[in-house]
Structure 1
Amino acid sequence: MKEQTEVGKLKEGRYVVVEDEPCKILGIAISKPGKHGAAKSRIDVVGIFDGVKRSIVQPVTAKTYIPIVERKSAQIISISGNNVQLMDVKDFEMFELTLPEDEVAKLEAGTEIPYISSMGKRKLDN
């Protein structure tokens, strides 16, 4: 899910949707308005799920989307190889995440761990 807002209202540390990917804002630089144009905003972001750095330049008055990022808790049901089966503790929804081997080694079945959910994607909250 996502909401619409103006580029000028964004702040560092918040989230924005860039190229259909929820991203965390690292920095914002706003230029002065020119003789015939509006002020421009340069926003440097990093993807929450893919870790890719991006940057966008848009007028301050342009509309953009902000993702709804939820921090939730899940219980580990089972671990098989790199796949971890989890169950959300509030709505009891079951889902699987594929994790690197070093992260899987730290996990134990039956324990609760925090995770991030946004725009249909999930990852462990490290």
Structure 2
Amino acid sequence: MKEQTEIGKLKEGRYMVIEEEPCKILSISVSKPGKHGAAKARIDAVGIFDGVKRSIVQPVSAKTYIPVVERKSGQVITVAGTTATLMDMKEFTNFEIEIPADKTAAVEVGKEIPYIESMGKRKLDLE
């Protein structure tokens, strides 16, 4: 799910969609309007799910999409290798999620862990 907004209303630390991937905005630099053109914004962002850095340059008045990013929690049902089955604590739906290699010790059966969901994708939210 995503909503539409103007480039000029975005802030650092918020989210936006670049190349159909939800991204967290790292920096925004805005140029002054010129003699023949509108002010432009350069946005540097990193993908939430893939970790790829992306940059775009667009007019401040251009429209863009912001993803709806939800932080949820789920209970671990089973763990098999690098995959865990979680049950959402509010909707009681089961789904599988990939466990990062450095976070395997934090995922135990019966434990409640946080995750991020946006645009049909899910990722564990462990620090």
TM-score by shorter chain over 0.5: yes
Please, what TM-score do these two structures have when normalized by structure 2? 0.96
Report the counterpart of residue 125 of structure 2 in structure 1.
Answer: 125
Count of residue pairs brought into register by the alignment: 126
Instruction: Give 1:2's aligned residue.
Output: 2
Where has structure 1 moved over 6 Å in runs of 4 or more? none
Corresponding residue for residue 20 of structure 1:
20
CA RMSD of aligned residues (A): 0.8
In the superposition, the TM-score normalised over structure 1's length comes to 0.97
Identity value in percent: 71
Which residue in 2 is equivalent to 1:89? Answer: 89
Q: Which runs of 5+ in 1 are unaligned?
A: none
The one-letter code sitting in structure 2 at the alignment partner of 1:72 is K
| Letter of the 2:76 counterpart | I
Q: Secondary structure at the match of 1:103?
A: helix
Gaps of 5+ in 2: none
**Alpha carbons 2:78, 2:85 under 8 Å: kept:** yes
Counterpart code for 1:109: V
Distance 2:51 2:102 in 1: 18
Q: CA deviation at 1:69?
A: 0.2
Amino acid across the alignment from 1:48: I
| CA displacement 1:30-75 (0-9 Å, x = unmatched) | 0000101000000000000000001000000000000000000000
Residues 59-103 of structure 1 deviation map (CA, whole Å, 9 limit, x = unaligned) = 000000000000000000000111100000000011001223432
* Residues 98, 123 of structure 2: 8 Å contact kept: no
